[in-house]
Amino acid sequence: MATDITPDKNAEAESIGEINKYDFRTETEAVFKSQKGLNEEIVRQISAMKEEPEWMLEFRLKALEIFESKPMPEWGGDIDINFQDIYYYLKPTDGQEKSWDDVPEEIKETFDRLGIPEAERKFLAGVKAQFESEVVYGSVAEDLEKQGVIFTDTDTALKEHPELLREYFGTIIPSEDNKFSALNSAVWSGGSFIYVPPGVKIEFPLQAYFRINAQNMGQFERTLIIVDEGAEIHYVEGCTAPMYSSDSLHSAVVEVIVKKNARCRYTTIQNWANNIYNLVTKRAVCYADATMEWVDGNLGSQLTMKYPAVYMLEPGAHGEILSIAFAGNGQHQDAGAKLVHAAPHTTGQIISKSISKNGGRSSYRGLVRVEEGATHAKNNVVCDALILDPESRSDTYPYIEIMEQDVSIGHEASVSRIGEEQLFYLTSRGLSETEASAMIVNGFIEPLVKELPMEYAVELNRLIQLQMEGSVG
Amino acid sequence: MTHVLKIENLQVAVEGKPILRGVDLEIKHGETHALMGPNGSGKSTLGQAIMGHPKYEVTGGTITLDGEDLLEMEPDERARAGMFMAFQRPVAIPGVKMADFLRHSTTNVRNPERKEGEDLIPMKDFRRELKDKMQQLQMDMEFARRYVNDGFSGGEMKRAEILQLAMLQPKFAILDETDSGLDADAVRLASESIADIGREKMGLLIITHHDKLLVHNPPEFTHVMLGGRLVETGGSELAEELHANGYERIRAAYPEAEAENLAMAGE
């Protein structure tokens, strides 16, 4: 992996006689150690340290301008971020300076209870930047390579497959899209790049976990997936273990292109520490008879704003979004989905399940748009909220924009509280109140959990059990 | 030691309104008791109070199991101590499979000291046992994979309650109208199953309007409730009499309780 971007000493020595880029790199080395804040200079440094082509630097600088010109969104959650108090780029080695002792006790305890292996704990806690996954990943990589699949981090992809990046990068989510996509475009680092050639069907879920390292799961990761005609992939990112980071902002951009007759399922389970703003833009475009499915689980964080989108551009395209949100004490999950029918005979479905407890707040925010000419579009939205106690809150903001007559649109929403009768029934059969509540909650999300790969489903259930402990009483 | 469930001068209110006005009842392990009475007399309230439903406030009296104070226990502790109630109207728990629920439940009742997160009964053993019990009750194994009471017919719900009774093997079981809403064949099957599982192996308190359940489970004792009191106790012949003639004689014999019953039923 070409992720070692530490300037090499020989280059510095050589730079004495040169005035252009080596000088610059030397300077970077000196100031880069731990500089906070965001400005043009920082963006230039990031691009230079990564030795990026000129077009990417320009892309970043333009995005920075857009970021600075855009106001903060006035909807969603309360965002209180000092953008000058954030590190926008850390070298992979910086992570190792942190100590295991600095990791909060409750995070360590959760690792224990989830049975996360020792090697992974250090990575997940941000103590260790690199996770030794080569053993697990090696044979998988070889197999994929034979089929012509490209699976790498986005920085490497930019070096090794510049033509693909040039063609697709930033085309699905332009920097102008929103303030945080502009921010990500200016300072992005890491993320996954996947290209699946025509007709190639990857049988097993492809997991970012295999390639887990600081680059993949940074603060501003940038993921791009291209599924060529007739190809299939199930990509899984994140994991249910709590992600601890001393940084307070995570803002990713994920772009997916699903070509004719292709299928893509993108599964995310994230469980951020409670200090994190998780502001993510995810969007897919879907061509003729192609299917895109987002399965999106959000736990933890202080505020999550995330609305995976599918734009159905050609007839027969199908978009589906399954969203699970769990808002605990001090947490606001503003999650939802966006489906745009831009062609006739396109079909879409949104299923959202949210749980609020201990004063947590969850909101469903969704948009369904049927554009003019998109006749025979079919769309169905179901959103169910479960509220565990009177202190917690749930809101629904469904937006529907229909520019065509001949369509079929359905929307159902329900809000329920854990019933006294349900609790009594289960406890009268020997389950403790906590077990009973957890069982009811797990039952509530079961229609979505059964869509997850087995190990994720098991971990998610265990995690909800943990979240539920002591919450009722 | 013979297990004893003892209820003394039990008074229960719901939302501040008194329902039970001093009930005394003693059930020994192995005995079958029938609890009869007109609608609204407080029969189900007795069952709910014994299991500890939070809405049923005990305002006086005691309930003990082998001398232990049940009123001090949470519902799950009562279950672990050996109490069970088959619900008249079991609630649905969508998304929770019968088998998963029963495995948790059975584990906790058999290992009363189990803490949350500790191991459950091994899947293999549990499955074998569940399969045996379901065959005995002529239930399809598919049933175990369905969500608890979700979309069940009336008959399926009652059979699911009996299945739980069979798995949990409590010391004392209250069967709250386990025969209601069933057709004749289903009542016969339910009655035979209960006789098979519970008779002489538990203390049974059978709440019923009908006598069909009692044909297979002839009670040693029949109690008649009216206006929140047990006004008469007899043997199985009392159950037969009430079934044949209704409650006219009882209503006439206990005018005070009857007045209270009318007041409660009128609300």
Q: Look up residue A310 and give its amino acid.
A: V
Rounded alpha-carbon distances, angstroms, from residue B222 to A451, B35, B74, B191: 53, 6, 29, 17
What does pLDDT average to over chain B? Answer: 92
Q: Is the pLDDT of residue A23 over 70?
A: no
Burial class (CB in 10 A: 0-12, 13-18, 19+), B124: exposed
Query: Does B104 sit within 8 Å of A430, measured CB to CB?
Result: yes
Q: Could you give the 3-state DSSP secondary structure of residue B257? A: helix
Q: Is the pLDDT of residue A334 over 90?
A: yes
Select from A431, A444, A445 the Cβ nearest to the Cβ of B76. Answer: A431
Average pLDDT of A283-308?
Answer: 94
Residue with tokens 């409750």: A106
> What are the chain A neighbours of B47 within 8 Å (beta carbons)?
none
Where are the strands (E) in chain B, listed by range?
4-14, 17-28, 32-36, 56-65, 68-69, 83-86, 172-176, 203-207, 221-226, 229-234
Contacts of B108 in chain A (CB under 8 A): 430-432, 435
Predicted confidence (pLDDT) at residue A93 exceeds the cutoff of 50: no
- pLDDT at residue A473 greater than cutoff 70: no
Contacts of B116 (CB under 8 A, 6+ apart): A432, A434, A435, A465, A469
pLDDT value, residue A120:
59
The pLDDT value recorded for residue A33 is: 45
Closest listed residue to residue A280, CA positions, set A298, A256, A302, A307: A307
Sequence-ordered list of residues with C-beta below 8 angstroms from that of B54, at least 6 positions apart, any chain: A420, A424
A322 against A468, higher pLDDT: A322
Q: Are B10 and B58 in contact (CB under 8 A)?
A: yes
Q: Is A414 on the interface with B (CB under 8 A)?
A: no
> Nearest-CA residue of chain A relative to B87?
A425
| Residues B48-69, mean pLDDT to the nearest whole number | 97
pLDDT tens-place string over residues A260-278: 999 999 998 888 878 889 9
Which pLDDT band holds residue A116 (cuts at 50, 70, 90)?
low
B75 contact residues in A (CB cutoff 8 A): 424, 427-428
A329: which residues sit within 8 A by CB, 6+ positions away? A357, A358, A359, A360
Most confident of A79-83, A121-125, A287-291, B189-193: A287-291
Side chain identity, residue A411:
H
Min distance B94 CA to chain A CA atoms (Å): 6
A425 touches chain B (CB under 8 A): yes
Cα of first residue to Cα of last residue in chain B, in angstroms, is 44
Q: Out of A420, A443, A469, whose CB is closest to B94?
A: A443
Residue, of A208 and A302, whose pLDDT is higher? A302
pLDDT of A125 over the 70 cut:
no
Look at A443 and B117 and tell me if their CB atoms are within 8 Å: no
User: Which range is least confidently modeled, A127-131, A352-356, B43-47, B246-250?
Assistant: A127-131
Taking CB atoms and an 8 Å cut-off, how many pairs form between chains A and B? Answer: 88
Residue B214 tokens, joined = 């009692």
The mean per-residue pLDDT over the stretch A359-382 comes to 96
- Which among A441, A443, A176 has a CA at the least distance from the CA of A328? A441
Mean predicted lDDT score pLDDT of chain A = 81
Q: State whether residue A450 sits within 8 Å of chain B by CB.
A: no
Q: Between chains, do A444 and B55 touch, taking CB under 8 Å as contact?
A: no
Q: How far apart are CA A215 and CA A206, in angstroms?
A: 17
A462 to chain B nearest CA, in Å?
9
Chain B environment of A446 (Cβ under 8 Å): 94-96
Closest partner residue to A443 (CB to CB) among B105, B109, B147 is B147
Contact B165, B195 (CB under 8 A): no
pLDDT one-digit tens code per residue, A423-440: 999 999 999 998 999 899
Nearest CA in chain B to A465: B117
What whole-number distance in Å separates Cα of residue B178 and Cα of residue A330?
45
The interface pTM score, or ipTM, of the predicted complex is: 0.96
Which is it for the CA torsion A287, A288, A291, A296, positive or negative? Answer: positive
HSE (side-chain half, CA atoms, 13 Å) at B209: 12
Question: What mean pLDDT is predicted for residues A82-93?
Answer: 72
> What residues pair up with A310 in beta bridges, in sequence order?
A284, A339
- Cβ of B85 within 8 Å of Cβ of A428? The answer is yes
Q: How many CA atoms lie within 13 A of A174 on its CB side?
A: 4
- Percentage, residues of chain A above pLDDT 70: 76
Q: Checking phi first, is residue A260 left (phi over 0); if not, alpha (psi -120 to 50) or beta?
A: beta
How much is the pLDDT for A139?
Answer: 58
Q: How far is A111 from chain B (nearest CA, A)?
A: 15
The answer to whether residue A17 scores a pLDDT higher than 70 is: no
B108–A431 CB contact, under 8 Å: yes
pLDDT at A405 over 80: yes
Is A26 buried (19+), middle (13-18) or exposed (0-12) by CB count in 10 A? middle
User: What was the pLDDT predicted at A117?
Assistant: 57
Tell whether the model's pLDDT for residue B143 goes beyond 70.
yes
Would the pLDDT of B87 be above 50?
yes
A461, A467 contact by CB (below 8 A):
no
Q: At residue A56, does pLDDT exceed 50?
A: yes
For chain A, how big is the Rg over CA atoms in Å? 23
- Asked if B53 lies within 8 A of A424 by C-beta distance, the reply is yes
> Stretch B237-243: mean pLDDT, rounded?
90
Residue A129 scores a pLDDT above 70: no
What one-letter code names the amino acid at A266? Y
Mean pLDDT value across residues A51-59: 96
Binary contact (A440, B53; C-beta < 8 A) = no
pLDDT value of position A213: 40
Predicted confidence at residue A351, as pLDDT, reads 94
Which domains, and CATH codes, for chain B? Answer: 4-90+170-265 (3.40.50.300)
Position A248 scores a pLDDT of: 80
> Cβ distance B159 to B137 under 8 Å?
yes
Please give the average per-residue pLDDT across B57-69, as a whole number: 97
Average pLDDT over residues B85-94: 94
What average pLDDT does range B8-22 have in this prediction? Answer: 95
CA distance B48 to A75: 48
Backbone angles phi, psi at A305, to 5 degrees: -125, 115
**For residues B265 and B192, which has the higher predicted lDDT (pLDDT)?**
B192
Chain-centre distance for alpha carbon A90: 19
Distance from CA of B95 to the nearest CA of A (A): 4
Residue of A400, A349, A406 lying closest to A375 (CA atoms): A406
Judge whether B164 and B193 are in contact, CB under 8 Å.
Answer: no
pLDDT confidence band for A29 (50 / 70 / 90): very low
Query: Which residue, A441, A206, A94, A105, is CA-closest to B95?
Result: A441
Q: What is the pLDDT of residue A6?
A: 37
Of B161 and A94, which is predicted with more confidence?
B161
pLDDT of residue A183: 96
Residue ranges of B 17-76 with Cβ closer than 8 A to chain A:
51-55, 74-76
Residue B233, pLDDT score: 96
The beta-carbon neighbor of A435 closest among B75, B116, B168 is B116
What's the whole-number mean pLDDT along residues A236-248?
65
The answer, yes or no, to whether residue A469 has pLDDT greater than 80, is: no
Cα angle A144, A219, A354 (rounded to 5 degrees) comes to 85
| B80 close contact with A: CB closer than 8 A | yes
Per-residue DSSP letter, A129: S
Q: Are A212 and A92 in contact (CB under 8 A)?
A: no
| Residue A17 structure tokens | 């006689």
Interchain contact, B91 vs A431, CB within 8 Å:
no
Mean pLDDT of A97-102: 62
Position B156 pLDDT exceeds 80:
yes
Q: How confident is the model at residue A39 (pLDDT cuts 50, 70, 90)?
A: very high
Q: Are B261 and B226 in contact (CB under 8 A)?
A: yes
Sign of CA dihedral A115, A117, A118, A121: negative
Identify the H or E element spanning A282: strand A277-286
Under the banding of pLDDT at 50, 70 and 90, the label for residue A454 is confident
Distances (CA, A) of B35 to A103, A168, A190, B18, B83: 61, 76, 71, 19, 17
Question: Which of the four pLDDT bands, split at 50, 70 and 90, describes residue A316?
Answer: very high
Give the integer Cα–Cα distance in Å for A73 and A414.
Answer: 27
- The reply to whether the predicted model has a pTM over 0.95 is no
Question: Which is higher by pLDDT, A214 or B232?
Answer: B232
